[in-house]
Structure 1
Amino acid sequence: MEATDVWTLASAALVLIMTPGLALFYGGLVRVRSVVNMMLFSVSAMGVVGVLWILFGYSMSYFADGESGFAGNPFKDFGLIETDPATFIGVGFGAVFAMITTALISGAIADRVGLGSWVLFAGVWATLVYFPVAAWVWGGGWIMQLGTWLGTPEVIDLAGGTAIHINAGAAALALAIVAGKRVGFAPGSHKPHSVPLVTIGAALLWFGWIGFNGGLATEVGEAGLILVNTLAAPAAAILGWIITDVLRGKKPGVVGAASGAVGGLVAITPSAANLSPLWALLLGLIAGAACALAIDLKYRLGYDDSLDVVGLHLVAGLIGSLYLGFFAFDDGLFTGGNGGLLLVQAIASFGVLIYSFVVSLLIALGVKALTGLRVPSEVEETGIDSVAHGEEAYALVEPAEASLPSAR
C-alpha cells in the first residue's frame, strides 16, 4: 500500500471523529434539556448518510466515463458490490465528508424539531443535494469543468468551501425558516449550557480538520502548507472574533473564541493548498470578524438559526471561496492580475448556494407537510430529551435505592 493511501486512511479516521466532535460542540451550545436531542441529530446523520453513501451515494458523487448531467448514475456501484476494492479508501474518505456535511445543518433547528423529521430531511437532502453537488465539485461535474468552458483558471475547492460549508449553510437557512422560531426567541434567551463541552467539541473539530483538509495531499510540501494554513487561519480568526467583540462592547468569552476558530477553519477549507501562510492569517482575521458580526443577523432578519450555522458556515464558506479569487497562488487578482479565477469562484459559490437553498426549502416544506417538523410547544418547553428520548444529559440526582436491612 502506498504511503499516500495510508495517510488518506488515517485522515478518514480524523474526519470521522469530527462528527462526534460536532455533537459535543452543538450539545454544549444548547439548553440542558435538549442536549440528547441535539447530539442525536449528529449521530443519526452518521447512520442515515453512511448507509445511503454505500447504497448509492458514492455512485452519485462522481461521473464515470460517458456519464454527464445532474449526478452520477446511482446504480453503477450500487451497494459497492462490484466496486474495485482498491478504491475503498477513497470511498470511505468520501463517506465521512458526507456524514459531517449533513450533520452541520442540524444546528439550525436545535430545541424544536423531532428526530424523525430530522432523519427524513437528512436522508432526502443527502440524496438530492449533497451527492449531486459533490459530483459537481469533485466528481467531474460542471463546477470542475467551468474553467475549461470559460477559458479561465479552474475552480479551487480543496476540501469543501462550496460542497460542504456553503451547501450546508444554505440548507440550514432554508430549514430554519421553515421550522420557525423557538419559543421565547430573543437575544440572550437561549444561552449555552456547557462551555467545557463547546471547547472540547471545537478542539476535536480542529484536530480532525488536519485530515479534512490534508487527506488527499500527495507531496510533503503540499501537506506541510495545508497543515500550517489549517493552523494559521483559525488562530487568526480567534483574534478577529475577540477583537470584534471587544470593539463593539461585548465581553470576550470562550464560546466566541471557539466559534471564531471554527469560522477560520471553514474559511481555509477551500484554500489551504493555494494560499501563502501570510494570506491565510489575513483570511482568518477577516473570517473571524465577519462571523462575529454575522451571527447577530438572525435577530435583525427574523430567522432562528439556533446555533449559527448560517453565520459560521455559509458566511465563512463564501469568504474563503471568494478570497481565492484575490490571493490564490499565481491566479488571484492581486497575486497574478487575473480576474478569471474570481469569476469562476463566484459562479460556483453562488450556484451551490442558490441550488442548495431552493431544494432544501422544498424538502423542508415536504417534511413539514408529512410530519409537522416541530415538536409541540409544550414538549419544547418541558424538554425534548425526557419527553422524546427518555434520556437526560446529566443524572444530577441518583434514583432512590431500595431500602436495605440495617446492619446490626
Structure 2
Amino acid sequence: MRKLYYTSLLIFIWCIQVNAQTIFNSGAAVHSVYTGVDSLLERDLVDVTHHLFHKKNKLSTDTTQKNEQHHKYNLAIVPAVGYTLQTGFAGILSANIGYFNTGSNKISSITTSITYSQYQQTIVPLVLNIWTKNDKYNIVSDNRFIDYPSSIYGLGGRTDPNKGHTIDFVGLKLHESILRSVGKNIYAGVGYYYDQFWNIKAINLGTRRINTIITKELGYDEIASGPVLKFLYDNRENQINPTQGLYANFVLRNSFTFLDGDQNFKSVLIDVRKYLPFPHKYSKNTLALWSYNWLTLSGTPPYLLLPSTGWDDQYNTGRGYIQGRFRGRNMVYLEGEYRYRISRNGLIGGVVFANVENFSGDLSQQYNTLLPGYGLGIRVKLNKHSGTNLCVDYGFGKNGSGGFYVNIGEVF
C-alpha cells in the first residue's frame, strides 16, 4: 500500500523525470498542470538533481520552455527505503505518469509501485485515471495485490487498542469503471468491483479458542463481486494536487452470490472534497476539506470489506491511527488540511491537518463516539508538471496513538 506508518523517515530518495513527445500533436504547446502558476518558476527534485550534477549545463528557462512546447508526458520514479514495526525494513519503488490528452482540461495519471518488506510482504497497486479526448469519458481502473499481515480490533469505536489480533491474508482488488460526460464537469457511469481475500489465518495468538473464533468470523476466504453505479462531479484541473475546485463522487455498490460473492449486500460511498486558495483567492496555499462517508445499506459485507480506518481506496483515512484500528457497518469521516509553501519556488512545503471519524452498527444508532486525529507534515516536490509531492506526515490520535505516514501524492 502507498501509505506506511514509518518509525523512521525515508533514508534515500531519487527522482527522475522523463518527457516523451506527444503522439497526438508533437508541435502543440502543452500547458502546465498548475492553472495560473508559471511552471518555469517552479522547481522540483529533478531540477535540484540537475543543478547538483550538471552545474555547467544549467536548466535555463528557454530550454524548459522549449521542452514544454514539444513534450507532454512527465514521469516521476521514486525509490525509497523505510521501516515500520508492521513490515520491518521495506524497499519501495513508485512511479507516476501525468499527461493531457488532446482537448482535455483534466490531467490523466497512471500510478504504480512495488513494496517488498523484510517479512516477505508484497504490495503492488496499479491505478489509472484516464480522461479521453475533450474529457468525454473518464476511465478509472484500481487494481491491487496485497500479501501481508494486518491487525483487527473488533467492531465499533470503543475497542481496546491492547486487544488487537494479527491476521495474515492475500488480497486482490479489481475495480473497473467508465463514466461519460452528461454535463459540464458531470459524469455518470457503471463499473464492476471484485474483491477477494484468501489464505486468511490468525497468527501469534495466545489461545486456540481465539483462533477458532476469528476463523469462524472471517472464514478462510472472502469474496465480493458485483456491478456499481457511479456519479461524479469534478471541476478540478489537477486531480493529483488540487489547488481549487470541487470533487463529489457517489458510488452505489452491489455484491451478489450469483456473481460469486459470499453474501448479497449493498453499500454506498459518498466522497466530497473542496479546495480553496487560502487566505485569499490569489494565494498559492490551499485549504482542503474532505467528507468521506461509507455506509452499508443492506446485507452484511465480508468482515475485511466493512468500513474501516485506513481502508478507503487510497488507504489514507484516519491519520493518527494504525490501519484497521476501527471498523463498523457505517463510517462517517471529516478532515481538513492546510497546505502551504515554505520555499517560494514550491520545492518545499508543509501541511497541518485534523480529522474526526465515527463508526456505528447501523444508521439508527446515535453517533456518540468521535475519534479525533491531528498532525503536521512536510512536502517535497517530485514532479512540478503533475504537481506530485513526496508527503511525510506525523499524526496523533487518542490514547497515545500516532505514527509517520508516507505518500507519493497528496492524501486527498
Normalization by structure 2: what TM-score? Answer: 0.26
More helix by share: 1
Specify which structure has the bigger relative contact order, considering alpha-carbon pairs within 8 angstroms and separated by 6 or more residues: 1
Q: Which structure shows the bigger proportion of residues in strand conformation?
A: 2
